Amino acid sequence: MSYDYIIIGAGSAGCVIANRLSADPNIRVLLLEAGGKDTNPWIHIPVGYFKTLHNPNTDWCYKTEPDPGLNGRALDWPRGKTLGGSSSINGLLYVRGQKEDYDRWAQLGNTGWSWDDVLPLFKRSENHEDGDPELHGKDGELAVSLIRAKSKISEAFIGAAVEMGVPRTDDYNGPDQEGAGYFHQTARKGFRCSSAKAFLTPIKKTRQNLDVVTHAHTTGLVFAPDAPKQVTGVSYSREGSSNRAMLKPGGEVILSAGAIGSPQLLEVSGIGNPQVLSAAGIEARHALPGVGEHLQDHLQIRLVYEVNVPTLNDAINNVLHRAAIGIEYGLRRTGPMSLGASQVAIFAKSMQGLETPDIQFHFQPLSADKPGIEMHPFSGFTSSVCQLRPESRGHIHVTSPDAQVYPKIVPNYLSTTGDQLCAIRAVKFARAMTKTNALAPYIVREHVPSGKVETDEDHLEAARDMAQTIYHPTSTCKMGTDDRAVVDPRLRVHGIRGLRVADASVMPDIVSGNTNAPTIMIGEKCCDMVLEDRRKPS
Ligand SMILES: Cc1cc2nc3c(=O)[nH]c(=O)nc-3n(C[C@H](O)[C@H](O)[C@H](O)COP(=O)(O)OP(=O)(O)OC[C@H]3O[C@@H](n4cnc5c(N)ncnc54)[C@H](O)[C@@H]3O)c2cc1C
């Protein structure tokens, strides 16, 4: 069997690509996914990410190298390993980023990626419960809904932001992102809408021209014996055996294995920086020094407060309340179990003179030492703040030719002065919110940061001690026209034929917000370009 298109990775981007390309019954598509089917029931219950995170059946469970910017701490880096990829274990928050992000991508030479170009693609995927039709789609497959549980303390948090000068908003996904309000979620009637649920489930039984193979770990690209830069297929391992899937003439492989998996597969296939490849014992096939470089991520600084009203900590720590939450969800699909990772979104400017927000808050009416583990034994909330456009760049590189060996992840968090100053302003902003008329009456004490935090140095040190990833690695196969770019604006790998990359790794710069919706948009755009190129006379 040979295919017109082989897609590697059934994640946020891979699922939409498989859907759009297989819409034409004359096109044969293969989708290879290293993880299993999305049958774990916790995948589909919004709050279930507490069960799928750090679970090797659904999470790759990566870990970074110890990071000097975090006082030597190494972070857990979850990534989804199942149909839907990270969209099956993520926090469900539907955020597009800022108009200016995409306009900047276009200004960098990425023609066709401005806000005006990409807005129709966001709308095409979307089935929004209650959005302005100028900005939101109604007919797409990706369900987006308003949250189904609010609380006194979340309202107070929004009130605090408003007192700090942030306008209230019902929709941060339009051309002006600044505002404080409730998150929109990728959910339908109280269930998660992952990319697999949206784009694969409705078609998998009806499209005979689409093969979806799970537990298929792609181990490398296959090249033409007489044309070393022409991809002709992929190799993958499944149930202990080695397999190959081949392309029809003129076919393409689309790498959608995510910001860790995609650069890894390029490198094990001999595409990358020759020095990195040689150190890993890999023969270079094509020099492309940007592979695995330019890594960006959002770093969340998580402040925790004890309050004098019950929060989800109280409910979750109490067996009877837990049962009541379960019953509410079972009967009405509402309440805490219908909530994604955060309730309140705030996009704010941490200093005067900025044109657009530079920090984002994720408010959670609960608190724990780390996301996904036991709640604190007191009524608490988490005020997580992250810098939207970090300057620090890290890298991800292989250390072995074996695709099963995890690559080395070096984020270099807080390694520039600009990021350090932003972290200081962000922590100060978060602490100032707790002194507002709206929020102060509820605050009992600051739990994190603990100890004396007074000077700028103290604030930075506290940030280094408490920050965690907010799970948004991007840009390791960045799109562009410069000599560090890995793909061109049509997502074709520079210098290689028959190969594109389409996932979060191609973002030229990280977007100013959560990365799932932008990655689905990248999948949509990839398909448009693949189909346009297919129609061109050869
Ligand atoms: C815990 C968590 C919470 C998050 N919360 C949010 C949120 O609330 N809102 C938001 O917008 N974003 C969130 N994100 C980020 C967002 O989900 C990701 O940016 C997005 O899903 C990335 O999509 P992708 O297609 O690039 O990669 P993925 O969705 O990760 O897909 C990559 C796929 O490729 C597969 N794969 C990898 N290597 C191979 C291989 N060698 N062979 C075969 N298959 C392979 C993987 O198993 C996976 O299925 C979160 C992410 C995580 C992990």
pLDDT in tens, 270-325: 999 999 999 999 999 999 999 999 999 999 999 999 999 999 999 888 899 989 99
Looking at the chain, the whole-number percentage of residues with pLDDT higher than 70 is 99
Q: Which residue's CA is the closest to the ligand 1 atom numbered 14?
A: 90
Q: Is the CB of 95 under 6 A from ligand 1?
A: yes
The DSSP symbol for 166 reads: P
What's the gap in Å between 458 CA and the centre of ligand 1? 34
The Cα 347–Cα 356 span in angstroms is 9
pLDDT at 371: 64
Asked whether 265 lines ligand 1 (CB < 6 A), one says yes
Whether 397 shows a pLDDT value over 80: the answer reads: yes
Over 324-367, what HEC string results? HHHHHHHHHCCCHHHCCCCCEEEEECCCCCCCCCCEEEEEECCC
CA of 273 to the centre of ligand 1 (A): 25
Tell me which of 17, 86, 478 to substitute to probe ligand 1's pocket, judged by most ligand atoms within 8 Å of the beta carbon.
86
The CA 511 to ligand 1 mean position distance, Å, reads 15
Q: Is the pLDDT of residue 164 over 70?
A: yes
* Ligand 1 near 504 CB (within 6 A): yes
CB burial of 269-295 (b: ≥16 within 10 Å; e: otherwise) equals: bbbbbbebbeebebebbbebebbbbbb
Report how far ligand 1's centroid is from the alpha carbon of 352 (Å).
35
Radius of gyration in angstroms for the set of CA atoms belonging to the chain, rounded to a whole number? 23
Q: Which amino acid is at 143?
A: A
194 CA distance to ligand 1 centroid (A)?
10
Average pLDDT over every residue of 324-348: 92
Sign of CA dihedral 266, 267, 269, 275: positive
Burial (CB < 10 A; 0-12, 13-18, 19+), residue 88, is buried
Smallest CA separation from ligand 1 atom 23, residue: 12
Q: Is the CB of 196 under 6 A from ligand 1?
A: no
CB of 11 within 6 A of ligand 1: the answer is: yes
Percent of the chain with pLDDT over 90: 92
Residues 191 and 45 sit within 8 Å (Cβ to Cβ) = yes
Ligand 1 centre to CA of 454 (Å) is 38
If you average pLDDT over residues 336-357, what whole number do you get?
A: 94
Question: Sheet of 126-128: strands edge to edge?
Answer: 126-128, 142-146, 184-185
Please confirm, yes or no, whether 362 is among the known catalytic residues: no
CB 307 within 8 Å of CB 444: yes
DSSP-H helix ranges across 97-146: 99-107, 115-125
Q: Which residue in 61, 8, 59 sits closest to 38, CA to CA?
A: 59
Q: Is the pLDDT reported for residue 537 higher than 80?
A: no
Ligand 1, atom 18: nearest CA belongs to which residue? Answer: 516
Question: Nearest to residue 255, comparing CAs of 225, 220, 283?
Answer: 220
Task: Tell whether the model's pLDDT for residue 256 goes beyond 90.
Answer: yes
CA distance 64 to 62: 7
Q: Is residue 297 within 6 Å of ligand 1 at its C-beta?
A: no
Among all chains, which residue has been given the structure tokens 């920050």?
A: 467
- pLDDT above 90 (res 156): yes
Query: Among the options 128, 136, 376, 472, which is catalytic?
Result: 472
Of the given ranges (79-88, 145-154, 222-231, 486-495), which has the lowest mean pLDDT?
145-154
Alpha-carbon span 406 to 77, nearest angstrom:
12
What is the C-alpha separation between 511 and 520, in angstroms, rounded?
13
Classify strands 210-213 and 395-397 as parallel, antiparallel or unpaired. Answer: unpaired
Is a pLDDT exceeding 80 seen at residue 373?
no
Q: How far apart are CA 260 and CA 31, in angstroms?
A: 18
Q: 179-182 and 344-348: which strand pairing?
A: antiparallel
**Which residue out of 87, 126, 244 has the highest number of ligand 1 atoms within 8 Å of its CB and is therefore the one to mutate?**
87
Ligand 1 pocket test: pick from 58, 62, 295, 471 the residue with the most ligand atoms within 8 Å of its Cβ: 471
**Does the pLDDT at position 372 exceed 80?**
no
Contact (Cβ atoms closer than 8 angstroms) between residue 199 and residue 16: yes
Residues sharing a CB contact under 8 Å with residue 470, sequence separation 6 or more, in sequence order: 297, 298, 299, 300, 362, 384, 386, 514
Q: Of 145, 168, 165, 172, which is closest to residue 155 (Cα–Cα)?
A: 168
| Distance from chain centroid for Cα 101 | 16
Ligand 1 proximity of 79 Cβ (cutoff 6 Å):
yes
Nearest CA to ligand 1 atom 48: 85
Query: Would you say the pTM of this structure is higher than 0.95?
Result: yes
**Lowest mean pLDDT segment, chosen from 46-50, 89-93, 187-191, 450-454:** 46-50
Q: pLDDT, tens digit, for every residue of 221-247?
A: 999 999 999 999 999 999 999 999 999
Distance 87 CA to ligand 1 centre (A): 6
The arithmetic mean of pLDDT across residues 461-465, rounded, is 97
Q: Which helix (H) or strand (E) holds 299?
A: strand 299-307
Average pLDDT, the chain: 96
- Residue 293: phi and psi, rounded to 5, are -90, 180
